[in-house]
Amino acid sequence: MANIQRIDYPQSADFLKKIYGPLMGKEGKLSGLYQTLSIHPESIFAILELNMAIMFSKSPLSRQQREMMAVIVSSENGCAYSLFHHSESLNEFWKNEHRIERLRLDLYSAGLSRKNTALCRFAVDLTLYPDRFPDRNSSKIKELRAEGFSDRAIIDAALCVSYINFETRLVMALQLEIEMKEEIILQS
């Protein structure tokens, strides 16, 4: 864990306390990311707004598809923190940790539809090879169109993948770690 100053909820005031309030989990805890960003509360607010707009707003992509891409991106980036949290979110839909593990290790063994496989390939390629998306007629975009994705769905997929890449790089740069309880679950 990086040795970065944090402001815990009891010590927070004004704007930060207003942000922290709704973020307190069922157990009265804040995520490590938001605690680490506490000395720059405006960034917490901006990231929350961006997260809600990309991951939770109305979209031709389902929440399940967005979390599926988030698992892929987190895995490709080697970010255990994001992988744990997005796997938990995806499991709310799939109810199958083994299938999520298969997705993480080899997307072709996860039993995805052709459409969802195309989304995941897009997520892998945009994460690992962003230079392969030079123009609107990219073969990756053509592949998504061939699977029936609208331009809006393609934009939402690109936003999702780009946001999760941002998130994982932020988490890794700040050396965030998952809590011990979560590490035990991830390793089993």
For the chain, give every domain's residue range.
1-57, 63-173
CATH number, span 63-173: 1.20.1290.10
Kindly report, residue by residue over 136-146, the tens digit of the pLDDT.
556 888 899 99
Q: At how many degrees (to 10) do helices 80-94 and 97-105 cross? A: 130
Residue 64: closest CA among 144, 166, 160, 185: 160
Kindly report, residue by residue over 121-158, the tens digit of the pLDDT.
999 999 999 887 766 556 888 899 999 999 999 999 99
* pLDDT reported for residue 162: 98
